[in-house]
Amino acid sequence: MRYLDLPIAFLDAVTVVIGRAFSWLTLFMVLMTFVNVLLRYVFGLSIIAAYETVVYAFGIVMTSVAGWALLTDQHVRIDVFYGRMSARKQAAVNVVGSVLFLAPLLYVITDRSIGYVSRSWKLRETSNEIAGLDYLYVLKTFILVFVVVLAIQGLSFLLRNLRVLILGFDPAPLAGPDQGKNTPNAEQVKQ
């Protein structure tokens, strides 16, 4: 199973780079929100493009860090029985979930959004607001970015859990305090 280490590590590294890069937009959103509040309540100015900048940044962050959320086990999971399961059963749940839910979801989003994004690019779609931003088509492109980043990490997640399903533990758990929670390692299996 060592032959899976390199692809998993590569996919995880891509996910981390993308997630960390786009997560910095969160700081930008906070600063822009502060500026918007200051302009509105102190100076009596309301700039539509400034408000839309925060909305665009939020959309970009939420779509581009989805893979990172899956990698660091920050995704939504209804954990009624999962936490009490053995490593192999958890891996089986993760594999089945990846194949039956994640893959079809990504396919449907891709299928439904390619035409939508393509039309937006052809029209160079802009905001409906008169003084809004001119780049709505770029924002809509992040629907496809969402699919790509989640597919990259979904593949890594699937490979990692297949390895756990076969071996009973993860021989190469992720480094870091908040990573690797979604696949049990050898020490967790012994407990």
Task: Give the pLDDT confidence of 70-117 residue by residue, as tens digits.
Answer: 999 887 777 788 888 888 888 999 999 999 999 999 999 999 999 999
What digits encode the pLDDT tens for the residues 132-180?
899 999 999 999 999 999 999 999 999 999 998 888 777 666 654 444 4
CB 64 within 8 A of CB 145: yes
> Which residues are 185's β-sheet partners?
170
pLDDT recorded at residue 172: 67
How far apart CA 14 and CA 61 sit, in angstroms, is: 16
Position with higher pLDDT, 54 vs 73: 54
- Give the pTM: 0.83
How far apart CA 135 and CA 138 sit, in angstroms, is: 5
* Dihedral angle computed from the Cα positions of residues 97, 99, 104 and 109, in that order, rounded to the nearest 10 degrees: 70
Residues of the domain holding 175: 2-190
Helix (H, G, I), strand (E, B) or coil at 99: helix
How far apart CA 114 and CA 136 sit, in angstroms, is: 15
- Please tell me the total count of domains within the chain: 1
Closest by CA position to 171, among listed 184, 155, 154, 158: 184
- Name every residue whose Cβ is closer than 8 Å to that of residue 54 and which is 6 or more positions away in sequence: 29, 32, 33, 36
- The residue-averaged pLDDT of 124-129 equals 92
How far apart CA 178 and CA 140 sit, in angstroms, is: 31
Whose structure tokens read 């009490």? 84
How far apart CA 184 and CA 164 sit, in angstroms, is: 8
